[in-house]
Structure 1
Amino acid sequence: MHKCLMLATQNSFDSLDDDTNSDLQMTHHRNTILDALDELELMEVDNDPNADQTDTDDDKSQELEILDSATGPVVPPKIPTPPPTVDISYMVSILSASEMKKAKSKREPVNTSIDLRTDEPWDTLKAQILVKISTAINPRMLHFDDYSLTYHISWVLPKPGLSLLTEADYNGMMKQVDGMAAKAPTVNINVIQTQPASNNNENQGEDESELAKSKMKKQKESAAILPGNKKKVANIQLLQDHWICKKTDSACASTHCYVIPGSEEHFPLGHQQLDCWASAMVDISSLAISPVLQCRLDAQAKTVTEPTSSTPVVNITFGNEFASLFKSSHTALNTTTSGIGPVPISTSSLIPPLRKPGNDMSIVAFCALYQLDDSITTKFASHSFKEAHLLRYVTFSDLKEMEFKFGEIAALRDAVERWSIPTSMA
């Protein structure tokens, strides 16, 4: 092969010497030389097995050096590290629609718990809650939309908390949990059934019977409620709406309080105080401006003193002779009076002898002042007794006809005796 190359080269140069003026032939001979050189290099590569690999590696290293110098070293992208997963304890409180109809103090929720990891999706928690609902109240149809869910976290998110109905709500809750330092956080979830209790299989017959009983009871109560009592109930509602305590539960345990004007002192208003105040508003509007009605009436009662007679007392002594002049008539008088005898208690007046009515006030205020039962107030109101001075005309037989019980009569006699004042002695 080398010999052929040398002969071709020699012939080419000879031809160049002969045809120096021919450009076309020169170009042809140059191409022939280059082709021969290429064939020579290929033969050397075939004879050297390491030549191809070395050249290829050198070329790649050179290309990498050029890329590094142009763009800098290649840095792999950083993969974000997810927050560590922890266990969450969900304390679930479930209230059915029938329980929601009861008074707040009488509701009995079904409490249960769910333990999940923080990386669990929203659908997993929702499915677990539906399982707990099915176990607790056993509804006929189980739909997530039939329930209202809220959550709160102690020391982080106070009551009433936030809603937990969508995946966005769940993600917001997870942000609250991620910000907690506790290793095992606890989340409180309240579940309230918004659909009627008829969808529940459990205790359905009992609910229907209780509903029928409540209807009958309401009908009886509505028939027995007098106009005065309706006004009192309305007044109680007005007082509760107006005197709502604005302090926190830790500062004041009462829901309704009367704030004394000019100070921050709170006067707790319980059922007894509200009932007394509302009753006073029905008849004594002038005294119904404050819950301290009883204190005012007590102060008025204390100011009443026993009146002293301004009539002079003259003591006259008669001898036995003077008494004998009227002996016959005196005997007749004794005979007449002995036949009558003492006045029966059934016809005697409620106010004791030698006493007269005290300060005039309404029957409602009288019963509230001396802490008489509401049943006594109701019986007087049902017979149109409005003022306390009318008690002077009430007899014990009247009380029996009004269906007063023995204990009520005794309490009323004690109150009247304290309320009445002694008459002036002539």
Structure 2
Amino acid sequence: MKASTQEAGALNPTQLLFSNYIVTFTVPRQVSDPIHLNDKDKYEYLVKKALLIVKNPSAKIMVEPKIEDKENEMNISGTDSIPKPKSSGKKTKVPKACDILPANVELNEKISELRERWTCPTAGGPCGIAHCFFTAARPEHFPLSHNHFQSWAAARLKGAAFADLETLPNNALFDAIAAGARAAQSPLLQRRLELREQVAAKNAPAAPQVNIFPAEFAALLRPPVAPAPAPPLAAANAFVPPPSGANILIPYGHIPGADLTVANFCAMFKLDDEIRDRFEANKYKSSSDFQFIEVEELKEMGFMRGEVAQIKGAVGKWSQVA
């Protein structure tokens, strides 16, 4: 015994496929036009809009079978045998261009311009439909339906002061768009913001005034300056370096070193005994006397040029930098 078609369908139900259904969503006061919920980005967009509702965040999700699936179900259930009502034979007449009112012609042209201008550049983007509004200041896509285009086009017919191809009309259909984005697009709102800034600038407190006193009066207010310390006085017996032009045995910028006897000085710097004897013969007893000897005096004492060079080298090593 063969089972009927309905019994077979009940015993072997068809598998539900997500692709056989149209899933859309709306969010109260945030997303009025249904948007397809078919990928992760749309789901995140739904959650983002729903969370904008401070109290009781919610969203409405609608699941509808596709038309093809409905026809298949009818064929499976056997309802395709039900005779369809015959058409009356009357066909809808396509209106001619001359039958359309001039105002509607201009309105349709404005709508066509808006649809062409605000076509979504991203196929299957976050808006979920073919047309949307977005700007650099407001990159979030705002879906545009036929009602939006019709209202926008009607405002354009009133003049550029109400709306144009880039400026949104100011009505309830576009309230979801941020006021800042509308201000950036609307010259009227932009002008109001500029006037508000000018009024705020006029009411700003004036800069503090600084009075400059005469230099004599300002000098009285300054604290007295402490006198600079006097340079230290040289000791009574301190050696004063001779000027650079003097031909003193001690080099310029040097002071005498340790006080040695002539014999010890010559022995320390390995000078010949003849040099020692000639110093002693001229009654020079210690190295401290070298600060008063000029090079010419060495020649007068009978020192040879080589001996003068040895003495100058020894004195240069013995003396110290001042």
Question: Normalising by structure 2, what TM-score?
Answer: 0.24
Between structures 1 and 2, the one with greater helix share? 1
Question: Normalising by structure 1, what TM-score?
Answer: 0.20
